[in-house]
Amino acid sequence: MTTALITGATAGIGAEFAAQLAARGDDLIIVARDSDRLAATAEDLIKRHRIACEVIRADLTDRAQLALVEQRLSDSSRPIDLLVNNAGFGVNQSFLGGDLDSEQQMLDVLVTAVLRLSHAALPGMVARGSGGIINVSSVASFIDGGTYSAAKAWATVFSESIHQELAGTGVTVSALCPGFTHTEFHQRAEMNVDSLPEWMWLDAREVVAASLADFARGRSLSIPGAQYKMLSTLARYLPRPLVRKVANR
């Protein structure tokens, strides 16, 4: 029996990770800000899959609340086999003239929390010689899409770097880099994506299934969808001025 801890586990890709991991028999620790949604999600998972599901209410922008999750991850008496750093944060604004506190909160969730939670989880995993981390990044990490892309670029490079550092330990770190995925993320961030063509959209179930399959194969990078495999390859190998021009359009 393995145990997974998932941040941002009550909606979107995080909820799908919880559903698929529970379906295969993993016990869960789910982390989110909304107590009611946490309780409802845990109750549903326990009822449907007969697994144990612990809840931690935490706002990852709050360092004291983040520390509670760190402490759970580093508890050697209750080991965690898989950490899914999924909690999201979107800022729909230009950097110049935008709200600085919102930018800082985004970095707190997408960078600081990933850094600190990974640091808490990895020593125990390495000592046991098994387990790993999935960091939910984005194909936006390969283009210049504002501070969100910059934060996701950090998550992708961080994942690849730690994956390489841990080679031979039995521990895998993988960055999941999806493109546009049908979740409530864009609506909550007040992003207008209605004009995007259907071919650009991914299904959350397929995204998570691809991520778990790539993680099981020991891959440091998972890019679901043939369209995004192609686009991310172009973004990584075309001249950067051209990539910037296309991305801005």
- The phi-psi region of residue 52 (left if phi > 0; otherwise alpha if psi is between -120 and 50; otherwise beta) is beta
Q: Which of 148, 154, 185, 228 is catalytic?
A: 148
Active site residue 237: no
CB of 224 closer than 8 Å to CB of 203: no
Type of residue numbered 66: L
Neighbours of 164 (CB within 10 A): 10
Other C-beta atoms closer than 10 Å to the C-beta of 169 total 16
Q: Is 85 helix (H, G, I), strand (E, B) or coil?
A: strand
Residue 239's identity, in one-letter code, is: P
Closest CA to 31 of 50, 4, 51, 52: 4
Question: Rounded distance, CA 109 to CA 86, Å?
Answer: 9
Joined tokens for residue 233: 């390859």
The count of other CB atoms within 10 Å of the CB of residue 174 is 26
Query: In angstroms, rounded to a whole number, what is the distance separating the alpha carbons of residues 33 and 62?
Result: 11
Catalytic residue positions? 148
